[in-house]
Amino acid sequence: MYHNQAQIILPGTDLNAEMSYFERIGFRLDNIFPDDDPEVAVMSGYGIQLRIDRSAKVSPPSIHILSDNPKDILGIENQLLSPGGTVITVGIKTYQVPAPLTKHKFEVRKLRDEAPWVIGRAGMQYRDLVPDRLGGGIMASHIRIPNGGPVPDMVHYHTIGFQLIYCYRGWVKLVYEDQGPPFILSAGDCVTQPPEIRHRVLEASDNLEVIEIGVPAEHMTTIDHEMELPTSDIRPEREFGNQTFCHHQVKEASWSSDSIKNLQYRDTGIHRATMGVASVKVYGTHSKHGFSQTLSHQQDILFSFVTEGSFSLQVEGHPVHNLEKGDAFVIPPNLNYQFTDYSADLELLEVALP
């Protein structure tokens, strides 16, 4: 079957010098013409094809080569320059999840402050819940799709340390690699997306809202053009990056009591599924005007989002914050704080990253 090809055009008044240079860094000659006085040489390597043309009226391009051994190509140089002026740089081929040092701070993000919504992948609207991302340690997004229906998503995966999708309002239809047929994630439900599990968003209700947590903040998303979902295998025990897929459903949840916070909570099972990478709990109360003991924690990151109701947050050295649904906050380790004045319908999503 015939396949179209693409070429990068390079100027090269000295064709022999240009060819010799690119051969030294790993390209091979495919075509050269005309024979009696060559004007064009076509060379290939690293998945691209170069067309070196003596008469080309173009500026020299930049070529970025991916290799896990850059020194084999660059030597001790930071970048290379061909005789015709083409710049060659080399990057790491295998993407490594960054591990930034968390820049701890106390921060509150209130919905009524009207932080801007921006258009992200697949047309979804995003509101950043931790604007400075604690130095790159966490991305926390409030995502919404006002008009429901099919979602223009593709099968993709994320190279990431931890990722949570919590359905806040409405419902969304999802499908995951080796996890069976598509299913509905309803309000109060959540899933983890283990590193590099293939998945796709299929459909959403009107006014869908989800909370997405990603650790670290910057990570790679890759489109898988080959895999079709659902897959024929169903393997809930399969590990992806030492984590298993977790689908927590509120209708099947049981509640326990936290006497320190004076709240009830349901554990999502994410601590077990992620092998301790993260813990996710949903706290709630049915007692108005409750209060907690003085709290502190030793986690690296403690993020919370108010899904229902209201309460007051008292943090050592800071003014009291009266929080309500849609608000979010992060509290640094070893800082004293207290919850007071719970409303009867308070519900709080808490994500702890040790």
Helix H or strand E encompassing 8? strand 8-11
pLDDT in tens, 91-140: 888 888 888 899 999 999 998 877 678 876 666 788 999 988 999 999 99
| Cβ within 8 Å of residue 23, ≥6 positions away | 29, 43
Residue 95 is predicted with a pLDDT of 84
Query: Using one digit for the tens of pLDDT, what is the confidence trace for 150-177?
Result: 988 999 999 999 999 999 999 999 999 9
- Tell me the one-letter amino acid at 105: K
**Model-level pTM?**
0.87
Residue numbers of the chain with a pLDDT score lower than 70 = 1-2, 115, 120-123, 286-289
216 Cβ contact list (under 8 Å, min separation 6): 97, 98, 99, 100, 136, 137, 138, 139, 160, 161
Taking alpha carbons only, the member of 173, 180, 177 closest to residue 239 is 177
Give pLDDT, residue 288.
64
In contact, 252 and 314? CB cutoff 8 Å: no
Q: Tell me, what DSSP letter sits at residue 252?
A: G
Q: What is the pLDDT of residue 287?
A: 63
Structure tokens at 333: 């380790």
Find how far residue 157's CA is from the centre of its chain. Answer: 9
Q: Which residue, among 104, 101, 160, 161, has the nearest Cα to 330 in the 3D structure?
A: 104
Provide the pairing of β-strand 183-186 with 208-215: unpaired
Q: Which domains does the chain have, with CATH numbers?
A: 8-91 (3.10.180.10), 107-249 (2.60.120.10), 252-353 (2.60.120.10)
From 63, 55, 57, select the one nearest 21 (Cα to Cα).
63
